[in-house]
């Protein structure tokens, strides 16, 4: 005889106040916590959400390459009962962007866009009457940060009081992580080479938020200082998409910022290694660290699916 499982009550889907998700702060801190809660439920009970986007079509616009973001958005939409349609290439070069936006919003319920300029995704949001989601721009990678916060929460349970070290370029991924850590009470340290600082505005904004939530934001040029006592060490490529022509000079500038076993050993014994992927082994991280049992990079990649489902539900369901 098999025991009958009690029916599981799903959390209420809280509708996001902001019409779009073009940057991290379009979610309030409460909405962010709600999203993480929903993402955990979606991951556990995917069948409870399988028709929540029934009848909705979503356009995916990609100016840059992608494996994880594109596949997880396509799958998320499909697994929620919706339909996605993809267009690769520059947005707004064949006709004005405002026309692209006002064509798309007649056909689809939402737009997901990966762009070079943040202005491109902001302008799409300005002109389209349907929600626009930032799937990475040169300035932010907010969907990545959602999955990363979900991964930390799964791994450590509570987030408040953790120390998070980002070692590498002060780039889009660093910006989104900095803001999200500050909002969730996680001490955030970035260690980057001189001249590759994160945006001073993002540091100032995150520092202000951290003061309210009771944590800290620190910028240093010393990777060991960042790694010491950290619960998570995160890195990303030294040359992001669009900066490939700087790869050689960046390899020199970042040579002392590789996450290797010595640096990882300075973190807490139970610390995790994190990377948004794709990774360049032998540059920002050694093969030994990314392949170590404490590397959670594939949990992060998996959670892109669940966190984005939660986001789409909160924007569109
Ligand atoms: N992490 C991430 O966004 O990967 P893709 O560039 O493959 O989408
Ligand atoms: N910073 C990297 C992230 C890739 C997911 C880039 O923008 O290329």
The Å distance, Cα 7 to ligand 2 centre, comes to 41
**Is 287 contained in some domain?**
yes
Scanning the structure block, which residue is given the tokens 């939530």? 213
Q: Do 251 and 181 share a structural domain?
A: yes
Q: Whose CA is nearest to atom 2 of ligand 2?
A: 240
Q: What number is the average pLDDT over the span 27-43?
A: 98
The model's pLDDT over 140-155, given as tens digits with 9 standing for 90+, comes to 999 999 999 999 999 9
Q: Which atom of ligand 1 is found nearest the CA of 65?
A: 6
**Peptide bond before residue 258 is cis, with ω within 30 degrees of 0:** no
Cα distance between residue 178 and residue 109, in whole Å: 30
Cα distance between residue 22 and residue 143, in whole Å: 10
CA atoms within 13 A on the CB side of 93: 7
Residues 6+ apart with CB under 8 A from 26: 16, 18, 20, 142
Q: Do 273 and 173 share a structural domain?
A: yes
Strand partners, 188: 164, 217
Cα distance between residue 56 and residue 107, in whole Å: 10
pLDDT of 4 > 70? The answer is no
Q: Do 289 and 153 share a structural domain?
A: yes
Q: Whose CA is nearest to atom 7 of ligand 2?
A: 240
What is the number of structural domains in the chain? 2
Span of 3-12, 13-22, 200-209 with lowest mean pLDDT: 3-12
The model's pLDDT over 74-92, given as tens digits with 9 standing for 90+, comes to 999 999 999 999 999 999 9
Give residue 263's domain range: 144-300
Q: What number is the average pLDDT over the span 229-235?
A: 99
Do residues 164 and 186 lie in contact, with contact meaning Cβ atoms separated by under 8 Å? yes
Which pLDDT score is estimated for 7? 60
**Does the reported pTM lie above 0.85?**
yes
**Is 6 contained in some domain?**
no
- Domain CATH for 310: 3.40.50.1370
Q: Do 227 and 149 share a structural domain?
A: yes
Q: Do 35 and 77 share a structural domain?
A: yes
Q: Do 256 and 157 share a structural domain?
A: yes
Do residues 220 and 156 lie in contact, with contact meaning Cβ atoms separated by under 8 Å? no
Q: Do 219 and 204 share a structural domain?
A: yes
Which pLDDT score is estimated for 9? 80
Q: Do 178 and 152 share a structural domain?
A: yes
- Catalytic site includes residue 304: yes
Q: Do 57 and 83 share a structural domain?
A: yes
Pocket test for ligand 1, best of 304, 305, 307 (most atoms within 8 A of CB): 304
Q: What tokens were used for 59? A: 């356009």
């Amino acid at each position: 005889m098999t025991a009958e499982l009690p029916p599981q009550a799903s959390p209420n889907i809280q509708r996001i106040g902001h019409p779009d998700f073009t940057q991290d702060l379009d979610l309030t801190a409460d909405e962010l916590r709600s999203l993480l809660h929903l993402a955990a439920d979606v991951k556990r009970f995917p069948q409870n959400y399988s028709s929540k986007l029934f009848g909705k079509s979503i356009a995916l616009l990609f100016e840059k390459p992608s494996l994880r973001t594109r596949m997880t958005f396509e799958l998320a939409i499909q697994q929620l009962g919706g339909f996605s349609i993809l267009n690769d290439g520059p947005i707004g070069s064949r006709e004005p962007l405002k026309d692209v936006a006002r064509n798309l919003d007649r056909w689809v319920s939402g737009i997901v866009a990966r762009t070079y300029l943040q202005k491109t995704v902001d302008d799409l949001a300005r002109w389209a009457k349907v929600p626009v989601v930032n799937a990475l721009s040169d300035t932010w990678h907010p969907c990545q940060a959602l999955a990363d916060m979900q991964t930390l929460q799964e791994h450590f349970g509570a987030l408040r009081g953790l120390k998070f070290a980002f070692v590498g370029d002060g780039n889009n991924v660093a910006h989104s992580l900095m803001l999200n850590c500050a909002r969730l009470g996680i001490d955030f340290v970035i260690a980057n080479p001189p001249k590759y600082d994160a945006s001073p505005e993002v540091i100032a904004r995150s520092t202000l938020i951290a003061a309210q939530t009771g944590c800290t934001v620190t910028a240093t040029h010393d990777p060991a200082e960042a790694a010491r006592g950290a619960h998570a060490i995160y890195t990303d490529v030294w040359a992001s998409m669009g900066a490939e022509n700087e790869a050689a000079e960046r390899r020199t500038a970042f040579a002392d910022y590789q996450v290797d076993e010595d640096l990882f050993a300075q973190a807490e014994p139970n610390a995790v290694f994190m990377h948004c992927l794709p990774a360049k082994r032998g540059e920002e991280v050694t093969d030994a660290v990314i392949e170590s049992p404490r590397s959670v990079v594939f949990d992060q990649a998996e959670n892109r699916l669940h966190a984005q489902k939660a986001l789409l539900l909160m924007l569109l369901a």
